A = this chain, B = another copy of it.
Amino acid sequence: MTTTAIAQVREFNRFYTRILGLLDKEILNSAFSLPEARVLYELHRMQPCSAKEIIQVLEIDKGYLSRILKNFLRKGLIQTQAVRTDTRVTEIRLSAKGKVEFEKLNRASANQIQQLLAPLTDSKIKSVISHMQAIRQLLNNHT
Hey, which bits of chain A sit against chain B, CB under 8 A?
A: 1-2, 5-6, 8-23, 41, 59, 109-110, 113-114, 116-117, 119-120, 122, 124-129, 131-136, 138-139, 141-143
Contacts and interface: CB of A to CB of B under 8 A. Distances in A.
B133 A128 contact: no
Contacts of A5: 117, 125-126, 129
A139 B19 CA distance: 9
A130 to B, nearest CB: 9
A142 B9 contact: no
Contact of A135 (B12, B21, B113, B138): B12
10 contacts: A5-B117, A5-B129, A8-B132, A12-B132, A15-B136, A16-B135, A18-B143, A20-B20, A116-B142, A131-B135
Contact of A117 (B9, B22, B116): B9
B116 A8 contact: no
A138 B120 CA distance: 8
Please tell me how many copies of the chain the complex holds: 2
A13 B113 CA distance: 10
B127 A9 contact: no
Contacts of A127: 134, 138
A95 to B, nearest CB: 23
Contacts of A143: 18
Contact of A17 (B18, B20, B124): B20
